[in-house]
Structure 1
């Protein structure tokens, strides 16, 4: 049994992940073999298989790590949506997510451009729905208009945010604050009345 807390294990896994990300950037996910990863990480294949069953398992762990990074430092319990749907608090939470993207921009660019990016996108959308968007509806049940299915509403808002992230990581013109404001403006234009608010 491999001790995951062992510094040698931590170091080996980091080398494997770094090599894998570099190779995805240069060769594309589908073109990478375990032999390629091991060679780039300067380990043997046996060492790779001590940590991961396949490159798919390795990719899944990188996606999980990426999602953890994305949601770092969010303070959900501090959010207060009683006064306005698109509050300063919500903008701050969106900026936090975008800041976490900035800190790992290269990784997000690579993962979103890979052929396996669909699963990453769906997992991020589910996290957004659970951690932020569903919270909006739950915090304001009286203001939510029931004729719009909740699943459709949360999915639509999440999709808009994913479009913003994918667009934003490929340009360097707008700040995190600017991008958060753009997202909130896009969403408020189409969805504010869905939550029972008026402009």
Structure 2
């Protein structure tokens, strides 16, 4: 009996999420009502409220589940070994992009500025920042640093997110492996050198 009940609950939850994802793409988050969700999931409003307190609660549940999967995807990616290798950043980027490709429709909605789902981007940036800053030991860093570590991290995460958003908007126009390899080279060598632009060295007199 309990097993049957659990399966029924699971199916209802899946129906609500499927309805939510479809409506997000069709109408945008702000326009969705609880009645819309109930009608699309073929349940009544009371059943919806047995599973979620509100539309924001449903959104947070979906975001947390998706972002939890991102964390699992990158948790084993090495990032703090010495000597540092370009392939480390490439591995993290590819793990994220492969997750994006498996959930492309949801990412399109979540990262679309018109939908104003800003917490999703903020939470994803925090996950990336924690990963890229993993194992950092300020005591082992040169002092004083030529460039602020916080500035470097912010720059890298912003660039990382920019590439993810561009990739989603371009309908995953390049293979994840190509995007990851190119991004890691840009991050490692700077965009001018990565683009093959010759730089003139300047020397103080």
TM-score (norm 1): 0.82
- Structure 1 unaligned segments of length 5 or more: list them: 192-199
- In the alignment, is the contact (CA less than 8 A) between 1:128 and 1:158 conserved in 2? yes
Q: Determine the C-alpha separation between the residues in 1 that align with 2:78 and 2:181.
A: 20
Q: Match for residue 82 of structure 1?
A: 82
1:163 and 2:162 equivalent? yes
TM-score (norm 2): 0.79
Q: Determine the C-alpha separation between the residues in 1 that align with 2:12 and 2:173.
A: 37
Q: Determine the C-alpha separation between the residues in 2 that align with 1:167 and 1:176.
A: 12
Q: Match for residue 195 of structure 1?
A: none
Q: Which one has the largest radius of gyration?
A: 2
- In the alignment, is the contact (CA less than 8 A) between 1:81 and 1:139 conserved in 2? no
Give per-residue Cα distances to partners, 1:101-136, cap 9 Å, x unaligned.
1111111112112523321111011001112x1127
Structural RMSD (CA): 2.6
Q: Match for residue 65 of structure 1?
A: 65
Q: Determine the C-alpha separation between the residues in 1 that align with 2:78 and 2:11.
A: 36
Q: Determine the C-alpha separation between the residues in 2 that align with 1:175 and 1:30.
A: 33
Q: How does 1:95-174 map to 2 (within 5 A)?
A: 95-113=94-112, 115-131=115-131, 133-135=132-134, 137-138=136-137, 141-142=140-141, 146-171=145-170, 172-174=172-174
Q: Determine the C-alpha separation between the residues in 1 that align with 2:175 and 2:137.
A: 30
- In the alignment, is the contact (CA less than 8 A) between 1:38 and 1:44 conserved in 2? yes
Q: How many residues align?
A: 186
Shift of 1:181: 1.9
Check 1:119–1:75 CA distance in 2 against 1; reply closer, same or farther (3 A cut): closer
- In the alignment, is the contact (CA less than 8 A) between 1:82 and 1:139 conserved in 2? no
